[in-house]
């Protein structure tokens, strides 16, 4: 009995030490005082979920007070409720076949349509789809809303954002294909940024090496796209002329020199636009907060490869998907 007690005690101490070591990597770095209107320097990062494989696509559902997120390798959407309970919400979420389909078959980005429908970027099905059932009665029954461009199947839609008029901008890198860029099933010879207009028309906005996260400014005049290419790790900014039409492409911020440095895990990935015009963008080291001019004003250090983020509770909470964890951070 003593031996068992000692083993349990040692294991408990080890877990506590690992947890403390992880929390020691958490911090908020204020780079400009204007960030203090958004977040405190001593804001705590809290682990609210763990034990997944690769988390993505966080989406807070106000009507129900819960968080949805994708676990891409497990082809599942999970739910965390207001009490912190985690449950399976949808499975399968991105690949409906019976055979194996690469390392990332599941859904990636999750969105709410203007009609309140759950929209999923489905890696395995290579399409943008919506769940046919309501949010309170989820079923793995989907309807494609965009699956090809000029007769060729998409690679693996990754992330998207609706503008105020219900037009959907989304990215299509190769990450969900079993062999990615070299996959024999790849039909398009480029990686695109698209706009699915509310009329149903699909427009090619731009071609990028690894388009990923995407956001629109509060006044709908600017489009932002993350490029998760380790050799060109940048965020682009465009002026929106009309729905699906952009000009004046420029680099909003370049983090290529930081890629691979100690403590700078990850690449430009998912992002969300705050109503005050600040861009919260996951990238090397955690989450970068930029003002409208492209200046970093704060950084949330997570110590993990951080894939995406989402606001909750009237922008008072920031939820993060980071490797196999779900974090939350209090905002002002």
For the chain, percent of residues with pLDDT exceeding 90? 91
Helix, strand, coil shares of the chain as percentages rounded to 5? 10, 45, 45
- What pLDDT shows up at residue 15? 35
Closest CA to 148 of 187, 112, 109: 187
Average pLDDT over every residue of 97-117? 96
Bond from prior residue into 51 cis (ω within 30 degrees of 0): no
Tell me the CA distances in angstroms from 122 to 8, 145, 159, 185, one per residue in order: 42, 11, 10, 16
The arithmetic mean of pLDDT across residues 213-228, rounded, is 98
Dump pLDDT digits (tens) for 143-161.
Answer: 999 999 999 999 999 999 9
Query: Collapsing DSSP states into helix, strand and coil, what is residue 4?
Result: helix
CA distance 238 to 246: 6
Q: How far is CA 80 from CA 40, 66, 86, 308, in A?
A: 25, 6, 4, 16
Q: pLDDT tens digit string along 169-184?
A: 999 999 999 999 999 9
The pLDDT of residue 24: 67
Distance CA 313, CA 82 (A): 11
CA distance 57 to 180: 20
Q: What is the mean pLDDT of residues 61-71?
A: 97
Mean pLDDT across the chain:
93
Would you state the pLDDT for residue 25?
A: 77
Give the count of beta carbons closer than 10 Å to the beta carbon of residue 137. 7
Average pLDDT over residues 108-115: 98
Can you count the helices (H) and strands (E) in the chain?
1, 27
- The pLDDT tens digits for 230-278 are 999 999 999 999 999 999 999 999 999 999 999 999 999 999 999 999 9
Q: How would DSSP label each residue in 17-43?
A: HHHHHHHHT-EEEESSGGGGGT--TTP
What is the SS3 assignment for 135?
A: coil
Q: Give the pLDDT confidence score for residue 23 in this predicted structure.
A: 57
pLDDT given for residue 22 in this prediction: 54
Rounded distance, CA 249 to CA 126, Å?
27
């Amino acid at each position: 009995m003593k031996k068992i007690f000692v083993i349990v005690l040692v294991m408990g101490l080890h877990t506590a030490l690992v947890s403390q070591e992880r929390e020691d990597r958490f911090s908020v770095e204020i780079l400009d005082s204007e960030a203090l209107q958004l977040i405190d320097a001593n804001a705590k990062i809290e682990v609210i979920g763990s034990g997944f494989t690769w988390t993505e696509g966080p989406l807070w559902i106000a009507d129900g007070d819960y968080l949805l997120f994708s676990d891409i390798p497990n082809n599942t959407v999970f739910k965390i409720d207001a009490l912190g309970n985690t449950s399976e919400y949808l499975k399968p979420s991105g690949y409906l076949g019976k055979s194996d389909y690469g390392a990332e078959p599941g859904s990636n980005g999750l969105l709410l349509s203007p009609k309140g429908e759950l929209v999923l970027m489905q890696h395995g099905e290579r399409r943008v789809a919506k769940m046919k059932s309501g949010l309170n009665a989820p079923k793995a029954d989907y309807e494609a809303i965009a699956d090809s461009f000029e007769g060729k199947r998409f690679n693996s839609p990754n992330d998207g954002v609706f503008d105020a008029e219900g037009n959907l901008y989304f990215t299509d890198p190769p990450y969900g294909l079993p062999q990615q860029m070299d996959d024999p099933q790849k039909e398009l010879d480029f990686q695109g940024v698209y706009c699915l207009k509310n009329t149903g028309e699909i427009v090619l906005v731009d071609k990028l090496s690894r388009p990923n996260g995407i956001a629109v400014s509060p006044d709908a005049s600017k489009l932002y796209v993350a490029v998760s290419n380790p050799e060109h790790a940048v965020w682009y900014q465009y002026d929106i002329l009309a729905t699906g039409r952009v000009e004046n492409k420029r680099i909003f911020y370049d983090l290529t020199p930081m890629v691979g440095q100690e403590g700078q895990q990850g690449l430009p990935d998912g992002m969300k636009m705050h109503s005050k015009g600040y861009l919260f963008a996951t990238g090397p080291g955690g989450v970068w907060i930029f003002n409208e001019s492209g200046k970093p004003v704060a950084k949330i250090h997570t110590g993990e490869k951080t894939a995406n983020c989402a606001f909750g509770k009237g922008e008072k909470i920031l939820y993060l998907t980071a490797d196999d964890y779900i974090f939350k951070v209090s905002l002002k």
